[in-house]
Structure 1
Amino acid sequence: MKENDGMFKELVENSDDILIVTDEDFKIRYISSSVTRAFGIEPMKLLGQNIFNFINAEKTGNWKRCLKDPAQVSFHDEISLNAGNDKRNYFDVEVSNFLNKASIHGLVLKLHDISSKKLKEEALIRSNQQLDQVIYKTTHDLKAPLMSAMGLVNIAEKAAPSEKDKYLRLIRKSLVRLDSFIEEMNDFFRNEKLALQREKINIATLLNDELGDLRSLYEPSKIDVQFEIHGNSEFYSDGIRLRTVVANLLSNAIKYYDPDKIEPFVKISVYINEEICEIRFEDNGIGIEPQYQEKIFDLFFRATDHAQGTGLGLFIVKDTIEKLKGVIVVNSTVGQGSTFTIQLPNQIHQPIEVG
């Protein structure tokens, strides 16, 4: 019998599930050592505490009512517990009512960790919600410039020869807007679907290429765009995704410049070492209102009508940086300008995670 008891205890202690036994007053009398692996807490520190100190208050009343019902032998529920560092663990809980059993005279709870499953479910819900928004926004924003171009074509066909050039310029403007939106949608889906890559990146070449692509957005005589690179370390990351980030932040800095400033500028400062690559985009543009600075990375959010945009750009930027395990910080003052600083891990010594 003792041998069987020892075997059972060993099975319980080595299980990833957390087993808890309480008395009739719901105070913890036993808790398996798996609680240490899950939360870093020694079992002895939890003995004597009321189990409902750890359960959401909304569930407490229902648990007590069910467990005092003689017909209610056991039931399942789902709870979340704080694991520290703003992390929550999710558990499927099997609660057995042993209040009338002399050998236990309390409750037996078995907590099975379902955090991975729960996080995947939440990610899927967010993904579906975003997809719904994207589909709606896409159909709306693709239609507007297309209808505009078609209307201008009809007008141009009937216009005098001397006016055709004017309408062709307007048609081109609508098509450029359409092309820009399609490119943002490509960035959005590419970031979601493509596996992460690891490659050597020449930051100077990347910045020069992007500046060349953006020449149609600004006149060099009106906006002074410069960049400087510090550090001799090579830099490895995902080239396609980094190009997406740079293109969006650079085009935003240019689009939202302040035409009333005597010397509008965009300065890009790059600092590279073997640990990180920091890229800072500084401008003296129109700036961002304080109440919008937390929202500018939300899907389809636009803080101003100063320039045309879809509200996808900064969402893509943050999402891309997070996939690269980096961070982005914004500091902005209305009327003075904005600074966007990104830090990305340098993958020079190890391959980037794929998936």
Structure 2
Amino acid sequence: MPLNRDTRIEAINRALLEIAEGNFRHLAPVSDKFDDIDAIASGVNMLSEELRDTVISRNYLNSVLRGIVDMLIIFDKHLQIKQVNQKVCELLAQPESYFINQPLDILFDGRKAKFITDLKESLRKKKQIYNLEASFKTSGSGRLPVTISLSRLRDNRESIGYVLIAKDLQHIRLTSNALQQKNDELKTLVYRVSHDLKGPLASMQGLLQVIEQTETDLPTLHYYISLIKQSADKLNSTLMGLLEIGITDKTKLNMQSFDINSCGRDVIDSLANYPNREKVEITLAYDSPVTFTSSEKLFRSVLQNLVENSIKYHKYINNTPYIKISTRHSRGGIEIVVKDNGVGMNKAILDRAFDMFYRGNHTSSGSGLGLFIVKSNVEKLGGDLKIKSKPGQGTEVKIYLPSLDKF
């Protein structure tokens, strides 16, 4: 059915509105007559096709802005904010409407007047500013340390505005510090592994050489064998600790639902033959079955290392040595408390208790990896831990682990 004149004009108006909205694929109808209205419609369609080939659509531009992981702010030539990406709203805790048509100054607190003046003057003299350290004002009275880069937007040779990219310096510093810590741990690992593995091995080799080169009576031979066994046990302890540390990526953890208390009982039973286990009373307290989702392997490692540590440093004076383990639901996860009445630690030892290869007691036969493994595994499971201890009064370790059923 042929369209009447009013309908054809309305269709042309609709096509023009679509072009204004950034939709360049909507075309006005053109009839076989090719009269004056068809000529206008054809011209509008040609404009739409040309714009489609040469202009990025608004939706495409918005998708690009959303895809930028740093904060991005676009200003007009008077340094009034015209557009911000989602990262700006997220990190500064303000809605998009808070920024639009506001001056550059709104990004900084009121005490930054001189900084803003100097920034504008620098921008006037230079084509761009690169990696300048500053701090943005966040919701309330907070501040976010950032590095900012500012450059002009040009249309041919005319300046039409500015674009600012800001990087979250707080996140960068945290990442850098974490990387430095890991590098330090790796250096310590390389140094201590060579020392802690060579020592027991050299001791065993020396004792075997003595046995080979001398006539030894049976009691002396048994004594030498006991020394070799001590060195072998020490070597094995270090190797097992190193294997347990591992380099397990969180995304590769085997997540499963399991009963914490049943797991705890299994850990206690597995230590039946651990040296001095018979001297220590171990109890597991819980109000009801506690089931949650996490890596059972890493949880067992955490609990076993804590219990082993408490047994190793028990104190048998007046009172019976004990280890009390309690579990309960907390904050969408679980809280585990391991408390003992052992020898305890002074502040100097406590401050370094979770360091790799640290032994607070120089007479200890341990590898110095137990509490480091505990801390490492708790962090891999997204949890946190606190420790309290006093010399002669025992130690208490409190651990929180989130349920990883949504992971």
Structure 1 spans left out of the alignment, 5+ residues: none
**Correspondence for 1:247 among 299, 304, 325:** 304
Which residue is equivalent to 1:36?
89
Partner of residue 231, structure 2: 174
What corresponds to 1:325 in structure 2? 382
Q: Give the whole-Å Cα distance in 1 for the aligned partners of 2:330 and 2:222.
A: 52
156-165 vs 6-15, which deviates more? 6-15
CA shift digits 1:75-122 (9 cap, x unpaired): 432657577899967666244499xx9977xx8342155789957676
Which of 200, 203, 210 is the aligned partner of 1:148? 203
Comparing 206-215 with 133-142, which one deviates more in the overlay? 206-215
CA contact (8 A) 1:89 1:115 kept: yes
Whether 1:227 and 2:284 are equivalent positions in the alignment is: yes
Distance in 1 (CA, whole Å) between partners of 2:111 and 2:369 is 40
Between the two proteins, the alignment pairs up a number of residues equal to 339
Q: Which amino acid aligns with 1:143?
A: K
Which structure has more helix as a fraction of its residues? 2
Matches within 5 A, 1:100-111: 108-111=162-165
- 2:162 is matched by which residue type in structure 1? V
Gaps of 5+ in 2: 1-17, 23-55
Q: Identity over aligned residues, as a percent?
A: 24
Larger Rg: 2
Counterpart for residue 370 of structure 2: 313
Paired position in structure 2 for 1:163: 220
Higher relative contact order (CA 8 A, sep 6+): 1
State the Cα distance separating 1:125 from its structure 2 match. 5.0
**1:5 to partner: Cα distance:** 11
The alpha-carbon distance between structure 1 residues 88 and 187, as it changes in their structure 2 partners (threshold 3 A), is farther
From 131, 149, 166, the equivalent of 1:93 is 149
Q: Which residue of 1 aligns with 2:245?
A: 188
Give the AA of the match of 1:163. Answer: T
CA distance, structure 1, for counterparts of residue 139 and residue 207 of structure 2: 60
Amino acid at match of 1:210: V
Contact 1:245 1:321 in 2 (8 A): yes
1:138 to 189, 193, 205: 193
The alignment partner of 1:235 has SS state of: strand
| 1:4 shift after superposition | 10
Amino acid at match of 2:235: L
Q: Matched residue of 1:299: which SS?
A: coil
Distance 2:330 2:177 in 1: 36
CA RMSD of aligned residues (A): 4.5
Secondary structure in structure 2 of the residue aligned to 1:332: strand
Letter in 2 for 1:148: S
Distance in 1, Cα, partners of 2:150 & 2:373? 42
Q: Deviations over 1:147-202 (max 9, x none)?
A: 11212222333332221111111111111111111111111115458811122334
Q: TM-score, normalised by structure 1?
A: 0.75
